[in-house]
Amino acid sequence: MKVLLRDDVNSLGKRGDIVDVADGYARNLLVPSGAALVATEKMREQAAVMRRARDLKEGRDREAAQRVKELLEEAPIKVYAKSGKEGRLFGSVTAADVSDAVRIQIGAEVDRKTIAIAAPVRSLGVHNVTVDLYTGITAEVTIEVLPEGSEA
């Protein structure tokens, strides 16, 4: 059965695609959940409109990710953490800490799940992390870990 996808469906297709699926899958899951409509000849125009809207949204998202990448790579992100006299941290800097610092310093929302820290950051100083912003857009971010209380 051919269906028009109204939402992105994992391992099946994206919004606006007309795909061929098993009759039972369409009748029992896709159509009742609102994720798809049974495709007719007249729906091809609607599918084209949905694909154009999807392409425009992806273009805007890609441009926004590129702007965030430029901001992230421009200057180091300062992360403040509790540390001992020798420069070792009490704990480590996590992806959530980096995400919070980015939100405060740049004003951009970066999901902590997209931040990859190669090795645990357990000392003061400069470290590098990778942020996956969008498909094919990755930022190499320098973070500067400073002792808590030196925010002034």
Q: What is the mean pLDDT of residues 1-27?
A: 90
* Domain 2-60 annotated CATH 3.40.5.10: yes
Q: What is the mean pLDDT of residues 1-18?
A: 89
**36-49 residue pLDDT tens:** 998 888 888 878 88
0.75 surpassed by pTM: no
Q: Between the CA of residue 35 and those of 22, 38, 40, 64, 130, what are the distances in Å?
A: 15, 10, 16, 27, 34
Q: Which residues pair with 143 in a beta bridge?
A: 77, 127
- The domain ranges of the chain are 2-60, 67-147
**83-140 residue pLDDT tens:** 988 889 999 999 999 999 999 999 999 999 999 999 999 999 999 999 999 989 999 9
CB 10 within 8 A of CB 20: no
Q: Output the pLDDT for position 123.
A: 92
Q: What is the mean pLDDT of residues 38-64?
A: 87
Phi and psi torsions of 18, nearest 5°? -105, 120
Distant-in-sequence, close-in-space partners of 65: CB < 8 Å, separation ≥ 6: 133, 134, 137
Amino acid occupying residue 8: D
CB-side neighbour CA atoms (13 Å) of 132? 8
Q: What is the mean pLDDT of the chain?
A: 91
Q: What is the mean pLDDT of residues 29-37?
A: 92
Q: Output the pLDDT for position 152.
A: 57
Q: Which fold has domain 67-147?
A: Ribosomal Protein L9; domain 2 (3.10.430)
